[in-house]
C-alpha cells in the first residue's frame, strides 16, 4: 500500500481536469444565457447570427477565466500524489463555481441598470459606503429570490463536481511511477492552458482583448460576448494602474500640437488667454452683450438625477413622463442636443460644476488625489464675479462621492443635505430625503440668501430617481405602466421627480427673487433604454438642458440644436449675464458658436470602460485604446434613435479630423489635470514647455 501511494493512473487526473474545465465553461455559458434572457428586450432587433456569434466569441473569454481557475490544478499534476487529494480540489472548484453562479444571477440586474458588464462601478460603490449599497440591493432588487436561486445553484454545482469526481476517481495501480510521465504530460497540459488563457488565439503579441468582443453593429451583442469576471478584473487592473489607462491618450501626439488643437476647439473670439505659457485654457471671457434684463442677477443650477432626454416631451411626447418639465420648456431656452460627460452622478457633478471633462482613469475624480485641487468652475466663476451667498442642497449625505470635501475646496460654503433637512415628509431608507423635501429646503435657503439683499448662486441636486426607486405613499402621480399592466418603477420615479420639480417652480414663482434669477435645469446622466444605436449607448448621455429667465426666449430663442455637453453649461449660462469673467472651463458658450460650428461633446462611461466618444453635430466617433476608431453619421435623437456607420474610406477627412481633435482634447486635459493646472494658478510645470 505504501508503495502504491506514489503511483496513480494519470488518465483519471486528466479526465478530472478536463471535466472540471468543461463544467466551468458550461456555467459561464449559462451565465451568458441568463444575461440574455433577463435583458431580452435589448436583443429583439439583433440578428440571430449575431446572438449565436456572441456565445461563440464569449466562449473564448470564458476560456480565459476557466484557465485561471484551472491553473492551480494543472500545477497540482506535479505533486507526488497528483490530484488524488480530491477534497482540496473539490472545495476550490465549488468555491469558483459559486462565484460564477453568483455573478450569473447578479449581473443581469447590474447590466439593466448600467448597460455595462461588471466593472469597477460596483467596487466604487462598495468602497464609498457598503451599508448604502446593501440597502440599495435589498430594497431595489429581488435580493432574497436571488439568494435562494444562488443557494440552489450551489447545490447543483456541488452535485456536478461530485458526479465528476466519482466518475474520475483513480482505480487500481499504475505500472509506471508517476514522475516518468507526469512532467511531459504537465508540459503538454501547460501549453494547452496557455492557449486557452490567451482566449484560444495563436497570434503573436497580445492575447484576446476587450475589443475582440466587438463583432456586431449591436452593442448588446458585443457586450453579451464578454465575460463579467473578465471585465471586472480588467477594470480593477486599470483602476489600480491609472498610468496604463492614460498612456494611450497622453502619447497620441506631440504635446504642443495637442495644446494648439485644443485651444482652437475651445477658445472663442470673445476669449483672451490670461496665462498661455502655464495654463491650457485659463481665459477672460467678455460676452458681446447682455442677453437678460439687468435685474437678473441670481443663478440656480438644478442637476436632476437620471433625467434622460429620452422620455421628455421634446424627443417623444407619447410617454407623458415629464409634463411639468415640458411645460417649463415653454418658458425657457432648450438645448436639445446636450450630453452628459459620463454615466454616473459623480461625473455629472464635476463636469457641470467644476467644468472639467470626464477623462480616462479619472472617472471618480472627486475622490482621487488629482481632484484635490482648485478648479475654475461654477463656484470659482461666481466668486470672481463678487458673489458671496451660495448654497448646495442635496437629498443625501455629502460624504458620498466626497462631495463636501471637493466642493468646499471649490468655494461652496453652505451645504444642506440629508442630515440638515429637518421634518422631511419622506426619507428613503437607502439614500435620503425625497426630491420634494430637497426642493422645499431649497426654497428656504434661497429665501435666506435673498433676504441678505445680495445676489446669490446655488447648486440643487435631486436623488429620488435612483435605484431602489423608493417613493412617498400615497404617490402624487399616477404610476407608469408597462404593456403588461405592471408598474414601471424606473419611469414612475422619473415622473415623480418631474412632479417635484414642477411643485418647486410653482412655489418659486410666488417669491420676489424669482424674476431676478436664471435657472439652469439639466440631467446628470440618462439611463439605459432599448435603443442602443452604436457600440456606445449614446442614449445614456442624451440629457435635456433648459435655461429659464425673464425675456430669455425673446433674446436667444426657444431651442438651440448645437451639440453641447455639461462642461459647456457654465460658460453658456454666465455669458447671458453680459459680464466679463475669468474661467478655465473645458467648454464654450454654445450660444456664441458661428453658424458653421455644430458644437461638440466628448463623453466617456464610468466604471473604467475604455471607450470614449466624440459627438459633433450628427457625427459620432467612438474610440477604444489600441483599436481603430468607429465613425457614424446621421445621428437621430428623436422618437426612433438611429445612426449610420461609415467606413473610414468613405469619409477620410472627417475620420482624421475627429480622431485628431478628440485625442488632442483628452491629452491636454489629462496633462493639465496631472499637472494640477486646472484652475487660475500655475501648475507643476509650464504647459507650453512640458513636451516630454
Let me know whether 204 and 261 are in one domain. no
Residue 625 forms part of a structural domain: yes
Let me know whether 229 and 327 are in one domain. no
CATH of the domain at 470: 3.40.720.10
Q: Is the pLDDT higher at 121 or at 69?
A: 69
Coil/strand/helix, residue 546: strand
Residue 681 forms part of a structural domain: no
Query: Is residue 286 within 8 Å of 272, Cβ to Cβ?
Result: yes
- Closest C-alpha among 609, 646, 616, 607 to residue 629: 646
Report the alpha-carbon angle 292-297-302, nearest 5: 90
Let me know whether 202 and 274 are in one domain. no
Q: What number of other Cβ atoms are within 10 A of residue 551's Cβ?
A: 11
- Closest C-alpha among 550, 585, 555, 581 to residue 570: 585
Among 240, 263, 280, the domain-final residue is 240
Residue 32 forms part of a structural domain: yes
Let me know whether 194 and 318 are in one domain. no
Residue-wise pLDDT tens digits, 275-294: 999 999 999 999 989 999 99
Q: Residue 254 contacts by C-beta under 8 Å, 6 or more apart in sequence?
A: 691
Is 80 exceeded by the pLDDT of residue 126? no
Number of Cα atoms under 13 Å in the Cβ half of residue 413:
10
Domain that residue 351 falls in: 255-674
Residue-wise pLDDT tens digits, 502-548: 999 999 999 999 999 999 999 999 987 766 677 788 889 999 999 99
Let me know whether 127 and 269 are in one domain. no
Residue 375 forms part of a structural domain: yes
pLDDT (average), residues 575-603: 97
175 — pLDDT class (breaks 50, 70, 90): very low
- Closest C-alpha among 326, 333, 287 to residue 549: 333
Residue 248 forms part of a structural domain: no
Q: Which pLDDT score, from 0 to 100, does residue 432 have?
A: 87
Let me know whether 273 and 142 are in one domain. no
Q: Which pLDDT score, from 0 to 100, does residue 161 have?
A: 95
Q: Which pLDDT score, from 0 to 100, does residue 78 have?
A: 87
Query: Is residue 415 within 8 Å of 404, Cβ to Cβ?
Result: yes
220 — pLDDT class (breaks 50, 70, 90): confident
pLDDT (average), residues 383-411: 92
Residue 580 forms part of a structural domain: yes
Let me know whether 180 and 285 are in one domain. no
The pTM of the full predicted model, rounded to 2 decimals, is: 0.82
Residue-wise pLDDT tens digits, 307-343: 999 999 998 777 789 999 999 999 999 999 999 999 8
Helix, strand, coil % over all residues of the chain, rounded to 5 = 50, 15, 40
- Closest C-alpha among 442, 549, 446, 498 to residue 304: 498
Is 80 exceeded by the pLDDT of residue 130? no
Coil/strand/helix, residue 269: coil
Locus of grid cell 460596483? 122
How many domains does the chain divide into?
2
Let me know whether 230 and 260 are in one domain. no
Let me know whether 226 and 259 are in one domain. no
Let me know whether 70 and 164 are in one domain. yes
* DSSP letter, residue 229: H
User: What are the DSSP E strand ranges found in 208-366?
Assistant: 271-273, 283-285, 298-304, 333-339
Q: Is the pLDDT higher at 47 or at 332?
A: 332
Q: What is the DSSP string of 300-322?
A: EEEEETT--GGGSTTT-TTS-S-
Amino acid at each position: 500500500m505504501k508503495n502504491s501511494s506514489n503511483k496513480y493512473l494519470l488518465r483519471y487526473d486528466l479526465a478530472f481536469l478536463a471535466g472540471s474545465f468543461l463544467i466551468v465553461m458550461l456555467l459561464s455559458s449559462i451565465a451568458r444565457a441568463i444575461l440574455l434572457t433577463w435583458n431580452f428586450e435589448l436583443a429583439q432587433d439583433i440578428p440571430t447570427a449575431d446572438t449565436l456569434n456572441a456565445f461563440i466569441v464569449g466562449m473564448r473569454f470564458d476560456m480565459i477565466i476557466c484557465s485561471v481557475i484551472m491553473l492551480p490544478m494543472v500545477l497540482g499534476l506535479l505533486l507526488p500524489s497528483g490530484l488524488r487529494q480530491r477534497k482540496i480540489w473539490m472545495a476550490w472548484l465549488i468555491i469558483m463555481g459559486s462565484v460564477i453562479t453568483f455573478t450569473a444571477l447578479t449581473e443581469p440586474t447590474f447590466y439593466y441598470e448600467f448597460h455595462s458588464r461588471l466593472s469597477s462601478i460596483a467596487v466604487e460603490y462598495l468602497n464609498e459606503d457598503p451599508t448604502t449599497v446593501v440597502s440599495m440591493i435589498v430594497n431595489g432588487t429581488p435580493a432574497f429570490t436571488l439568494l435562494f436561486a444562488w443557494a440552489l445553484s450551489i447545490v447543483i454545482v456541488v452535485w456536478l463536481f461530485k458526479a465528476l469526481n466519482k466518475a474520475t476517481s483513480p482505480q487500481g495501480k499504475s505500472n509506471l511511477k508517476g514522475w516518468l510521465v507526469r512532467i511531459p504530460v504537465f508540459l503538454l497540459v501547460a501549453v494547452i492552458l496557455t492557449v486557452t488563457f490567451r482566449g484560444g488565439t495563436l497570434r503573436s503579441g497580445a492575447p484576446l482583448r476587450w475589443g475582440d468582443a466587438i463583432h456586431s453593429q449591436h452593442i448588446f451583442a458585443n457586450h453579451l460576448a464578454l465575460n463579467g469576471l473578465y471585465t471586472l478584473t480588467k477594470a480593477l487592473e486599470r483602476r489600480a494602474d491609472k498610468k496604463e489607462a492614460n498612456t494611450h491618450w497622453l502619447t497620441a501626439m506631440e504635446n504642443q500640437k495637442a495644446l494648439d488643437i485644443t485651444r482652437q476647439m475651445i477658445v472663442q473670439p470673445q476669449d483672451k488667454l490670461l496665462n498661455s505659457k502655464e495654463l491650457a485654457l485659463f481665459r477672460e471671457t467678455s460676452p458681446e452683450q447682455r442677453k437678460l434684463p439687468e435685474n437678473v442677477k441670481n443663478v440656480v443650477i438644478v442637476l436632476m438625477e437620471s433625467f434622460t432626454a429620452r422620455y421628455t416631451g421634446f424627443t417623444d411626447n407619447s410617454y407623458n413622463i415629464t409634463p411639468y418639465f415640458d411645460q417649463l420648456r415653454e418658458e425657457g431656452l432648450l438645448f436639445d442636443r446636450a450630453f452628459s460627460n459620463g454615466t454616473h452622478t459623480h461625473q455629472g457633478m464635476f463636469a457641470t460644476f467644476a467644468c472639467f471633462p470626464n477623462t480616462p482613469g479619472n472617472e471618480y475624480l472627486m475622490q482621487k488625489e488629482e481632484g484635490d485641487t482648485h478648479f475654475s468652475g461654477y463656484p470659482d466663476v461666481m466668486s470672481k464675479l463678487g458673489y458671496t451667498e451660495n448654497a448646495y442642497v442635496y437629498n443625501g449625505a455629502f460624504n458620498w462621492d466626497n462631495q463636501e470635501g471637493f466642493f468646499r475646496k471649490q468655494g461652496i460654503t453652505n451645504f444642506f443635505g440629508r442630515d440638515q433637512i429637518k421634518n422631511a415628509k419622506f426619507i428613503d431608507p437607502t439614500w435620503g430625503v425625497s426630491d420634494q423635501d430637497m426642493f422645499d429646503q431649497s426654497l428656504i435657503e434661497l429665501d435666506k440668501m435673498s433676504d441678505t439683499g445680495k445676489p446669490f448662486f446655488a447648486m440643487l441636486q435631486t436623488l429620488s430617481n435612483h435605484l431602489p426607486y423608493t417613493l412617498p405613499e400615497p404617490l402624487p402621480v399616477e404610476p407608469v405602466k408597462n404593456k403588461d399592466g405592471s408598474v414601471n418603477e424606473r419611469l414612475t420615479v422619473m415622473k415623480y421627480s418631474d412632479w417635484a420639480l414642477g411643485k418647486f417652480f410653482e412655489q418659486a414663482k410666488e417669491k420676489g427673487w424669482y424674476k431676478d434669477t436664471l435657472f439652469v435645469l439639466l440631467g446628470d446622466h440618462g439611463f439605459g433604454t432599448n435603443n442602443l444605436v452604436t457600440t456606445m449607448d449614446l442614449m445614456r448621455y442624451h440629457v435635456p438642458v433648459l435655461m429659464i429667465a425673464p425675456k430669455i426666449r425673446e433674446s436667444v430663442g426657444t431651442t438651440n440644436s448645437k451639440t453641447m455637453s455639461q462642461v459647456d453649461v457654465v460658460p453658456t449660462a454666465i455669458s447671458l449675464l453680459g459680464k466679463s469673467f475669468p474661467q478655465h472651463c473645458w467648454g464654450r458658450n454654445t450660444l456664441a458658436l458661428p453658424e458653421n460650428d455644430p458644437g461638440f461633446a466628448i463623453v466617456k462611461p464610468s466604471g473604467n470602460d475604455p471607450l470614449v466618444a466624440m459627438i459633433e453635430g450628427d457625427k459620432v466617433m467612438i474610440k477604444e485604446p489600441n483599436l481603430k476608431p468607429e465613425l457614424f453619421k446621421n445621428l437621430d435623437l428623436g422618437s426612433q434613435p438611429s445612426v449610420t456607420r461609415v467606413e473610414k474610406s468613405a469619409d477620410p477627412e472627417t475620420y482624421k479630423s475627429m480622431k485628431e481633435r478628440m485625442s488632442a482634447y483628452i491629452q491636454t486635459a489629462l496633462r493639465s489635470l496631472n499637472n494640477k493646472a486646472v484652475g487660475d494658478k500655475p501648475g507643476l510645470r509650464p504647459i507650453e514647455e512640458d513636451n516630454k
